[in-house]
Structure 1
Amino acid sequence: MSAGNGPLKTHLASETTSLCHCWRLSRADGVVFGFTDHDQSLVCDGTAFEPETGLTASEAKSSLGLSIDTVDVEGALSASQIREEDILSGLYDGARIETYLVNWRDPREFQKLRVAVIGKVTRRDGSFIAELESEAWALDQPSGRTVRRGCDAELGDAQCRVNLNDPRFSTGGTLRRVEDGGVIVVEGLSGFENGWFDNGTLTWTSGGHEGRKERVVSHGNFGGETRLALWREATLEGTDGDTFTVAAGCDKQFSTCKAKFNNALNFRGFPHLPGDDFAYDYVSEQGVFDGKALVK
């Protein structure tokens, strides 16, 4: 039980109550926000909870088992702390949400109702709805490795071991202008062949998007200009002179791992896995069974 449970229990037993909900949101990058459905700011359990976000909660239901409980939190995207581009960039993916029941007349009287993580986030008419998943729900998710031809590591992680600080695989650049469709014209990448940064990651190092990461869809040099197409749903904004770093991309194929990164020994897939045609075929006298790879 959380601190203050005793006094709150007494308050709940009284004829009239003064209760509200508070939510403490902790993102993976260490940023913490506090929101409440009360009409005034509250300080509870060491966190300041602000009312101007207009957050509301759906009916909450706690059930046995590992299914997702039907708990949603809804709020306005116009809130100063919550921006649409942050949601689209994944800053709230997996964020931790603690829900409190608080006596707003005396915030020292509170009860922590549940702890959850943000799962699916949907946007509609200038607002957002975040589905809260219980921590127990994670126990029902698939774990372990899947046997497949493609690599299941992330480029540069402890399994892959590619050094993305190597100047062959990453570099810095400067934004020159933004075009329609999430395409940006940049400088600083002229020494790299077309497609080198396809599926790569761009990180802004200055400007209004500083610290934000973007997925590179395609990279190419056209008409003497270098263009990067970025994957995003919201409109991309930027100013001439904004700087960034960009890391090479990988399509998870063995041939790419071997030729582009010289990293075949650390490939985390099974490139010689037989296909369905082989699995359903019949043994014949003409077949060659010498133990060599079936897929080159």
Structure 2
Amino acid sequence: MRTLPEGLDLSRLCHAWIVERADGVTLGFTDHDRDLLVDGVTCRAGGGWSPGASEGGVGYAPGQAAALGVLDDAGIAEADLDAGLYDGAKVAAWRVDWSAPSRLVRLWTATIAALSREGRAFKASLAGPAAALERVAGRTFTRLCDARLGDARCGVTTAPGATCDKRWSTCVGVFANGVNFRGFPTSPGEDFLTLYPVEGERNDGGRR
């Protein structure tokens, strides 16, 4: 629940967006008809930045949004966009009382996940903070290889149409690539749970 600042005039509200790039450069934009100083950043009027369609996430879903804009050498320059300086940039959206910009409410924060261009126009796809929960961390402990055939971890130079079932026997027998196998072929499988001692057999741990 957001707490509104005391004295906020709901009839004089506008939007402001503050973009912080990874190289430390910070830019501000507003849909008001004049520049505003918001949270210590000068937000330019008519800077060519506006919100697009959004899809809010429920619970822990990341949610998606978009920002639309026009390239402007005084704001978002074409060369900076092409150089990737906005990749992963942080974006904060504010609701501001333009008559007293110190009275403001932060609506959301996001990260620029992808950028696309068409002529002088651009579209930034934004991902909310919960998007980090979808990142894969670590590796899965499984008998199968978790590399992709032909990638850097696999190291095999593949012919068109080649496939791999990610099994140890295939990696060794078909591709002679056992040294790069990225699975755990001797790990116990689900059948291990059903094993039990049998009279007359050697129960020395050698049977899975």
Per the TM superposition, whether the score is higher than 0.5 is yes
Distance (Å, rounded) in 1 between the aligned partners of 2:103 and 2:54: 21
Q: Give the Å deviation of 1:138.
A: 1.4
Structure 1 counterpart of 2:122, from 128, 132, 135: 128
Structure 2 counterpart of 1:276, from 164, 186, 191: 164
- Superposed counterparts of 1:242-257, under 5 Å: 252=152
Q: Give the Å deviation of 1:280.
A: 8.2
Equivalent position amino acid for 1:7 in 2: G
Would the aligned equivalents of 1:4 and 1:108 in 2 still touch at CA under 8 Å?
A: no
Unaligned runs of 5+ in 2: 141-145, 157-162, 181-208
Distance (Å, rounded) in 1 between the aligned partners of 2:166 and 2:124: 45
Which has the larger displacement, 111-120 or 70-79?
Answer: 70-79
1:109 counterpart = 2:108 = no
Would the aligned equivalents of 1:56 and 1:74 in 2 still touch at CA under 8 Å?
A: yes
Partner of 2:57: 63
Partner of 1:5: 5
Would the aligned equivalents of 1:66 and 1:140 in 2 still touch at CA under 8 Å?
A: no
Would the aligned equivalents of 1:115 and 1:135 in 2 still touch at CA under 8 Å?
A: yes
- Superposed counterparts of 1:226-245, under 5 Å: none
Would the aligned equivalents of 2:168 and 2:178 in 1 still touch at CA under 8 Å?
A: no
Equivalent position amino acid for 1:91 in 2: L
Q: Which has the higher contact order (CA 8 A, sep 6+)?
A: 2
Partner of 1:222: none
Q: Give the Å deviation of 1:43.
A: 0.6
1:24 counterpart = 2:18 = yes
Unaligned runs of 5+ in 1: 153-251, 253-268
Equivalent position amino acid for 1:53 in 2: G
Equivalent position amino acid for 2:147 in 1: R
Distance (Å, rounded) in 1 between the aligned partners of 2:102 and 2:131: 31
Change (3 A) 1:137 1:66: farther
Paired residues, what number?
A: 166
Change (3 A) 1:276 1:26: same
SS at match of 1:119: strand
Partner of 1:118: 112
Equivalent position amino acid for 1:43 in 2: L
Partner of 1:148: 147
Structure 1 residues 97-123: Cα deviation after superposition (integer angstroms, max 9, x where no partner): 010000111111110000100112111
Q: Give the Å deviation of 1:293.
A: 7.1
Would the aligned equivalents of 1:2 and 1:110 in 2 still touch at CA under 8 Å?
A: no
1:93 counterpart = 2:87 = yes
Q: Give the Å deviation of 1:137.
A: 1.0
- Superposed counterparts of 1:143-292, under 5 Å: 143-145=137-139, 147-148=146-147, 252=152, 269=153, 276=164, 279=167
Change (3 A) 1:66 1:123: farther
1:81 counterpart = 2:75 = yes
Q: CA RMSD in A?
A: 3.6
SS at match of 2:27: strand
1:38 counterpart = 2:38 = no
Structure 1 residues 4-60: Cα deviation after superposition (integer angstroms, max 9, x where no partner): 62332xx23xxxx11111011101111111111111010121111111312211254
Larger Rg: 1 or 2? 2
Partner of 2:45: 51
Q: Give the Å deviation of 1:124.
A: 1.8
